[in-house]
């Protein structure tokens, strides 16, 4: 089992290396802009050339890549071009907020999605199942800014419960937390719930087609017992995998949702970095997103290995 | 209480199937959802083709007296932040949303299928390398990848198409490869191989015709994802650049009207949702294996 897990971690690290190369090569094709951006329009060509040399922008691409990679590994991904602060500092400020938002969205989506998915798997083909199936199918296709705008329309404009599109700074207490997070969490969870519910249903139904479930049916077990006692423990691995993949959607969804609600998280930081062409900041943010994805998938893989007796004994 | 009946969406279990079949509800193949889906898809195709002809006003014409006017007979969907007719803006903008996504999804599906076939009929080494490389690409969330591309190369229509195609190529590749690998071991393929047919012939004439249906359904899914990705980018102001505007740009430029509950914000967003939901419903109502695709696909 340990060997399997170590192998997975190794593959993940290798993938991360490849991803870093991809991100670096896309963003570093036009390296001249960094010096130009730092000095502004009025800079003379000589000044730009001097700064380029100083910033090491004239070195060949592979050297710049290695230097950048070394910086990432030692926790120093460089200096933000837009406001001359270390990228690490900016990220340290924003990352906890994004994690809080993602955590809240996960805490809402997982129970709802699991219940929905398992419920429809218990009575496949029933009216409830078909209703849920069509509803989740439609939900997957909804852009998050529609969910967000409709939420604002209902809760802020019509009901006046929440304030529209403004982030309330942290004040301790339940009520301010709910006021600040209800709409962002709702917009983020919408798609995640639908996706997770569908994948959970598929994972459980997959088990229902196994011979041991037929055995349970022949034994006369009730549907609820067949699903909860027989199928579900075996579906745990695939379900956790489905959860991880669906939760990874939070990463992309956060980019839109944080922007709409002016939420000061890492996703809105990244959007600002693109707008300002702040390449070091952008690269670091992109790496964090890819890391988060890989960690999620890796955790699901490890869980699948640990939870499966067949793999555990190897 | 009956036993859990296996739905028609999943491959039927071997043992249980004969006990279940006579009890199973006759699936109404082209359900209401499917009809709604096809109607929406046809509607949006027509709008994309004929939109500018149907638009009551010019795309840039300032026709209303005030900005963010409510829905009236004269302006069925209200007016936008400059006092332009929202309905006309949507009729013009749908072109970009429908067209760009179509190009990108076609590119992603075609390239994915071609690479999947290539990996299948080539040796193990090429297959492994290609699969690993494309797997690594899936670790970059599509929106993050798009942001990186826009930051690196600036936003232009060809770049947007390329970005969206690259984002969803690995997914199409994975589906195509798994379909092709299964077909590759079928007897008729082995017969063709024994007959001395070349790899290209086997890929194009033996394997491809038998995977075209699921790949078409997969194309539909990719299309939905691309529409959402590109409108998301436009919403961030990083997609289609002004003065051109797709449906996502319309949401962005009118976002200040949200506090007043202006239809100028909601209507373009609703337009995108009806397009994507329509395609999804249509795919889901297709017969056969296509449906199971919508279960696991990730946006």
Q: Give the confidence band of A38 by pLDDT, cuts at 50, 70, 90.
A: low
A195–B258 CB contact, under 8 Å: no
B140–A19 CB contact, under 8 Å: yes
List CB contacts (< 8 A) between A144 and chain B.
232
SS3 letters for B23-90?
A: CCCCCCCCCHHHHHHHHHHHHHHHHHHHHHHHCCCCCCCECCCCCCCCCCCCCCCCECCCCEEHHHHH
Span of A263-272, B9-18, B169-178 with lowest mean pLDDT: B9-18
Q: Which pLDDT belongs to residue A5?
A: 86
Q: Is B2 on the interface with A (CB under 8 A)?
A: yes
For B261, other C-beta atoms within 10 Å of its C-beta total: 18
Q: Which one of A14, A32, A37, A138 would you mutate to disrupt binding with B, by most B Cβ within 10 Å of its Cβ?
A: A138
DSSP H helices, B236-287, are 247-253, 263-284
Q: Which pLDDT belongs to residue B169?
A: 92
List CB contacts (< 8 A) between A277 and chain B.
151
Question: Between 3.40.50.410, 1.10.3720.10, 3.40.50.300, 3.20.20.70, what CATH number should domain B48-60+84-298 receive?
Answer: 1.10.3720.10
Whether residue B8 is predicted with pLDDT greater than 60 in this model: the reply is no
Q: Which pLDDT belongs to residue A31?
A: 52
List CB contacts (< 8 A) between A294 and chain B.
139
Q: Is B3 on the interface with A (CB under 8 A)?
A: yes
DSSP letter, residue A226: I
From the CA atom positions of chain B, what is the Rg in Å? 23
Q: Which of B7, B152, B232 sits opposite A124 (nearest CB)?
A: B7
Q: Which pLDDT belongs to residue B3?
A: 40
- Higher pLDDT: B88 or B31? It is B88
Q: What is the pLDDT of residues B65-82, one digit of tens each?
A: 777 777 777 777 778 877
B251–A209 CB contact, under 8 Å: no
List CB contacts (< 8 A) between A256 and chain B.
143, 232, 235-236
Please tell me whether the overall predicted TM-score, pTM, comes out greater than 0.80 for this model: yes
Instruction: Please report the number of interchain residue pairs, chain A to chain B, with beta-carbon separation below 8 angstroms.
Output: 221
Q: Which pLDDT belongs to residue B80?
A: 81
Q: How far apart are CA B114 and CA B222, in angstroms?
A: 16
Q: Which pLDDT belongs to residue B4?
A: 41
Q: Among the ranges A125-134, A200-209, B225-234, which has the highest mean pLDDT value?
A: B225-234
- Higher pLDDT: B288 or A243? It is A243
Domain residue extents for chain B: 48-60+84-298
């Amino acid at each position: 089992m340990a060997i399997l897990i170590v192998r997975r971690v190794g593959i993940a690290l290798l993938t991360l290396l490849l991803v870093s190369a991809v991100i670096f090569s896309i963003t570093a094709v036009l390296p001249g802009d960094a010096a130009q951006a730092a000095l502004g329009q009025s800079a003379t060509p000589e000044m730009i050339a001097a700064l380029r040399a100083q910033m090491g922008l004239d070195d060949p691409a592979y050297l710049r890549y290695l230097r950048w990679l070394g910086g990432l590994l030692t926790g120093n991904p460089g200096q933000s071009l837009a406001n001359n602060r270390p990228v690490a500092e900016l990220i340290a400020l924003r990352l906890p907020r994004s994690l809080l938002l993602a955590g809240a969205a996960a805490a809402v989506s997982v129970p709802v999605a699991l219940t929905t998915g398992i419920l429809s798997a218990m009575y496949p083909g029933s009216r409830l199942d078909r209703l849920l199936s069509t509803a989740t199918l439609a939900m997957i296709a909804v852009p998050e800014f529609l969910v967000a705008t409709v939420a604002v329309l209902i809760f802020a404009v019509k009901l006046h419960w929440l304030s529209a599109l403004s982030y309330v700074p942290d004040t301790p207490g339940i009520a301010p937390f709910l006021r600040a997070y209800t709409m962002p969490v709702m917009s983020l969870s919408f798609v995640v719930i639908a996706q997770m519910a569908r994948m959970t249903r598929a994972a459980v139904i997959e088990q229902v087609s196994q011979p041991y479930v037929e055995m349970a049916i022949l034994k006369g077990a009730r549907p609820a017992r067949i699903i909860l006692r027989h199928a579900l423990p075996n579906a745990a691995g695939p379900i956790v995998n489905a959860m991880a993949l669906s939760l990874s959607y939070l990463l992309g969804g956060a980019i839109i949702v944080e922007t709409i609600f002016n939420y000061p998280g890492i996703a809105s930081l990244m959007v600002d970095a693109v707008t300002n062409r702040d390449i070091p900041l952008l690269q670091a943010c992109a790496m964090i997103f890819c890391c988060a994805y890989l960690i999620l998938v890796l955790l699901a893989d490890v869980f699948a290995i640990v939870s499966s007796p067949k793999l555990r004994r190897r | 209480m009956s036993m859990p009946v296996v739905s028609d969406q999943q491959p039927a279990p071997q043992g249980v199937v004969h006990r279940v079949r006579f009890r199973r509800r006759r699936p109404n193949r082209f359900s209401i959802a499917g009809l709604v889906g096809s109607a929406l898809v046809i509607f949006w195709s027509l709008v994309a083709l004929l939109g500018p002809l149907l638009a009551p006003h010019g795309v840039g014409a300032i026709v209303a007296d005030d900005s963010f006017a409510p829905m009236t007979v004269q302006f069925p969907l209200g007016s936008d932040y400059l006092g332009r007719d929202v309905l006309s803006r949507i009729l013009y903008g749908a072109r970009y949303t429908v067209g760009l996504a179509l190009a990108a999804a076609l590119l992603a599906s075609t390239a994915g299928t071609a690479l999947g076939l290539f990996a299948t009929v080539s040796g193990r080494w090429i297959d492994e390398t290609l699969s690993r490389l494309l797997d690594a690409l899936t670790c970059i969330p599509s929106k993050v990848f798009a942001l990186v591309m826009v930051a690196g190369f600036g936003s232009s229509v060809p770049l947007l198409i390329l970005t969206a195609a690259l984002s969803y190529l690995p997914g199409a590749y994975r589906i195509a490869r798994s379909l092709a690998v299964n077909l590759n071991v079928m007897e008729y393929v082995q017969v063709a191989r024994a007959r001395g047919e070349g790899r290209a012939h086997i890929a194009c004439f033996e394997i491809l015709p038998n995977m075209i249906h699921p790949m078409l359904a997969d194309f539909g899914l990719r299309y939905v994802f691309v529409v959402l990705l590109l409108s998301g980018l436009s919403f961030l102001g990083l997609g289609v650049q002004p003065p051109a505007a797709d449906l996502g740009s319309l949401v962005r430029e009118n976002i200040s009207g949200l506090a007043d509950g202006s239809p100028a914000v909601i209507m373009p967003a609703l337009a995108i949702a009806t397009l994507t939901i329509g395609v999804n419903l249509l795919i889901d109502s297709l017969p056969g294996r296509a449906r199971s695709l919508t279960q696991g696909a990730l946006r």
